[in-house]
Chains A and B, each alone.
Chain A
Amino acid sequence: MAAALINVPAKAKSGEIIEIKTLMSHIMETGYRHTVSGEVVPRDIITSFICRFNGAEIFRADLFPAISANPFITFFTTATESGKFEFEWIGDKGFSETASASMTVE
């Protein structure tokens, strides 16, 4: 089961700087740990995060093993027009999750 929590303001004024907060459920297994019997626990992390607004990419991040479980990524952008934010997380073992949120600009 994977779940995402997204916090995008539903309404914003044109030109306003808004904060976008995202929280994705993921174990972020580093690949550096061993089991009691000495076997390496295979790496299982999110490798990239992309945010698109009305289809255009506005934010991208690469993630690495040092990043904690359930990565919380927040960033700022300027509200210019009404539209839809689309979020995408891609990772090891074919991990792929999406979420979206709409915003109205007045």
Chain B
Amino acid sequence: MRALGTIAIVALLTATGVAAAEIPEAQRRSGSTFMAPDTMAMQNDDTANPGMLWALDGEALWKKKAGSADKACADCHGDIRTSMKRVAARYPAFDKALGRPVDREQRINLCRANQQRATPLAYEGRDLLALTAFVAQQSRGTPITTGGDPQLEPFIAKGRGLYMQRQGQLNLACANCHDDNWDKRLAGSAITQGHPTGYPLYRLEWQSLGSLQRRLRSCITGIRAQTYDFGAPELVELELYLMSRARGMPMESPAVRP
């Protein structure tokens, strides 16, 4: 009887140990809640938010014909305000043809290749960021719904595995900072919980708009690990896990961060 009680306690401790590592839903906070009021005001004012410059460029690109098919995004998708509403909030999504998840940037480039018959836009290039920002803007304020598709489950699990995996010369996992120490600071900056609510976003440090993959690569370099190339399946799976982890939180794209 006593042995059984001990086992029960051990099991209970293990269970709470795991639960403590992940952030309870009631305690989830967007990165914007860690910012100074000035930065928040910049994000909320559409004429002060520099991300809107990219969204404006994206609006022009949306209507511009491209490729040998001589089609613009608008020729198939029509008015972006209706056709792309809430779409960015469910990415990365499963692509049947490829049999794996694709993020927003990859979806835009797939559309360019298959529908417009145009060359793919470069990662972190002005045009791809602009189109992504303009599409993501249509989901502003709507809750993140990524990960609802059961086909995504194995990929979310892989992304979670990478998130929990210690790596690099500093031997740190994403979880060591963003789950265990999000209420603390690192070199004066808030650590935050790593919810990707506002990508692509304008980082004052970058003086530019940037994608979630750019942010992930910076973090991976920061822990002195070998980073993945833009568009690598590992990065997409990590994006997928982070977005599914942030389910229900409102989209802020294009956001501003310090």
Contact A7 B50 (CB under 8 A): no
Contact A5 B47 (CB under 8 A): yes
Chain A contacts for B204, CB-based, 8 A: 68
Which stretch, B53-61, B68-76, B217-225, touches the partner chain A? B53-61
Chain B contacts for A69, CB-based, 8 A: 207-208
Contact A1 B57 (CB under 8 A): yes
* A72 located at the interface, meaning its Cβ lies under 8 Å from any Cβ of chain B in the complex: yes
Contact A3 B48 (CB under 8 A): no
Contact B47 A3 (CB under 8 A): no
Contact A70 B207 (CB under 8 A): yes
Contact A21 B48 (CB under 8 A): yes
Contact A1 B60 (CB under 8 A): yes
In whole Å, how far is B238's beta carbon from the nearest beta carbon of chain A? 28
Contact B53 A23 (CB under 8 A): yes
In whole Å, how far is A103's beta carbon from the nearest beta carbon of chain B? 15
Contact B52 A68 (CB under 8 A): no
Given A70-B50, A72-B48, are A3 and B207 neighbors across the interface (CB < 8 Å)?
A: no
* B126 located at the interface, meaning its Cβ lies under 8 Å from any Cβ of chain A in the complex: yes
Task: Tell me, in angstroms, the Cα distance from A6 to B47 when the chains sit together.
Answer: 6
Contact A25 B48 (CB under 8 A): no
Which of A5, A7, A68, A72 makes the CB contact (< 8 A) with B56?
A5
The residue in chain B whose Cβ has the minimal distance to the Cβ of A28 is: B207
Q: Write the A46-79 contact mask toward B (1 if CB under 8 angstroms, else 0).
A: 0000000000000000000000111010000000
Contact B48 A23 (CB under 8 A): yes
The residue in chain B whose Cβ has the minimal distance to the Cβ of A25 is: B53
Contact A68 B207 (CB under 8 A): yes
Chain B contacts for A5, CB-based, 8 A: 46-48, 52-53, 56
Task: Tell me, in angstroms, the Cα distance from A7 to B49 when the chains sit together.
Answer: 12
Q: Give the interface centre of A3, A21, A28, A72 by most chain B CB atoms within 10 Å.
A: A3
Q: Which residues of B from 113 to 159 have beta carbons under 8 Å from A?
A: 126, 130
Q: Which residues of B from 82 to 136 have beta carbons under 8 Å from A?
A: 126, 130
In whole Å, how far is A70's beta carbon from the nearest beta carbon of chain B? 4
Contact A3 B50 (CB under 8 A): no
Contact B53 A72 (CB under 8 A): no
21 CB-based A-B contacts, threshold 8 Å: A1-B57, A1-B130, A3-B56, A5-B46, A5-B47, A5-B53, A6-B47, A7-B45, A7-B47, A7-B48, A21-B48, A23-B47, A23-B50, A25-B50, A25-B53, A25-B57, A28-B207, A68-B204, A69-B208, A70-B207, A72-B48
**Known contacts A5-B46, A5-B48, A68-B207, then 8 further A-B pairs from the complex at CB < 8 Å, ordered by chain A residue:** A1-B126, A5-B47, A23-B47, A23-B48, A23-B52, A69-B207, A69-B208, A70-B207
